[in-house]
Amino acid sequence: MPFFFYFFSALALIGGIGVVVYRNPVTAAFSMIVSFLGLAALFILLNAYLVGILQILVYAGAIMVLFLFIIMLLDVREETGKSFPFTAIAGAGTIGVGFIALLIVVLTKSDIGAISAPVLAVGDAATSDVHQIGIKLFSEYWFPIQIVGILLLVATVGVVVLSKKELK
C-alpha cells in the first residue's frame, strides 16, 4: 500500500523537521513523538509488529515522557535570539542537499526493486513475533546480547559518576 507508506513517511519527516525548527522545547519534544509514531507505523507496514509496538511503548511512551518531565522540571525556556552564521547554514545546507541528491541518484541507479529483501523471521506462523524474536535473540544472538549487557553496565556507572552531585 504505497499510499500509507508515503503518508507515514511524510509524518515521520514532518515530525523530525519540527524537532529542529521549533524553539520551544516542549513543542519540539511533541514533534519528536509525531516522528516516532510515523516510524512505528512504517515498521508495522513492514510486518515488524513487535518493533513497531516497542517504538511506541518505549520511545514515544517512556523516553519521551522522561524528556518532557526533565524539560518541565528544569524549566527550560524557549531559545531566543540565537542565530547561526551564514557559513554554518550554507555548509549544513550543502551537505544535506548533497546527501539527498546522492541518495536519489543511488536509488535510481541501483535498481532497488531487484534487490530482494532477505526474509528474517521465519519459522512457524503459529508462534508470535515476540516468541520468534526472543528465541533468536537468546539462542543464536546470545553473544551480542551479553556485550550489550556490559554496555548498559558501563552506561549506568558512567551516568552516576558524571551526574552525581556529591561523590562519596
Partner 1 sequence: MPVYALEIIVVALGILMLMLDAFAKLEDKRSIAWLGMLGLIVVFGLLFRVEMPDAEAAKASFWNFYSPTGGLSLYFKGIAVLTTIIVLIMAADHSPVIVSNTANPEPGAHPQAGLGEFFALPLFACAGLMWMASANNLVSIFVSLELVTITFYVLVAYMRRNVGSLEAGVKYLILGALSTGFLVYGFAWLFGITGSMDLGEIKTALADSSVNPTAALFAFALILVAMAFKVGAAPFHMWVPDVYQGAPTPITAFLSVGSKAAGFVVFIRLSGMFLSSEFLVGKVSMILGVIAVLTLLIGNLVAIPQKNFKRLLAYSSIAHAGFLIMALACSPKVSKAGESLSPTNVIAFYLGAYLLMTLLAFLVMTTVRRRVSGEDFDAYKGLAKRSPFLAFALLISMASLAGIPLTAGFFGKLFVFTLAVQDSQWVLLTVGLIGAAAGFYYYLKIVASMYLEKAEGSETVANYAISIPARIAMIILIVAIIAAGVMPNLIFGLL
- Which residues would be at the binding site for partner 1 (CB under 8 A)? 102, 106, 109-112, 114-118, 139-144, 147-148, 150-151, 153-155, 157-158, 161-162, 165-168
Contact indicator for 12, 42 with CB cutoff of 8 Å: yes
Inter-axis angle of helices 129-138 and 142-163, nearest 10? 90
Q: In angstroms, give the least distance from the CB of 96 to partner 1.
A: 13
Q: In angstroms, give the least distance from the CB of 134 to partner 1.
A: 15
The set of cell numbers assigned to 20 is 529542529
Q: In angstroms, give the least distance from the CB of 136 to partner 1.
A: 10
The set of cell numbers assigned to 53 is 509496538
Cα–Cα distances in angstroms (integers) from residue 68 to residues 17, 35, 54, 113, 119, in the given order: 18, 16, 19, 41, 38
For 118, residues 6+ apart whose C-beta sits below 8 A from its C-beta are none
Q: In angstroms, give the least distance from the CB of 115 to partner 1.
A: 6
Nearer to partner 1 among residue 87 and residue 126 (C-beta): 87
Contact indicator for 39, 12 with CB cutoff of 8 Å: yes
Q: In angstroms, give the least distance from the CB of 117 to partner 1.
A: 7
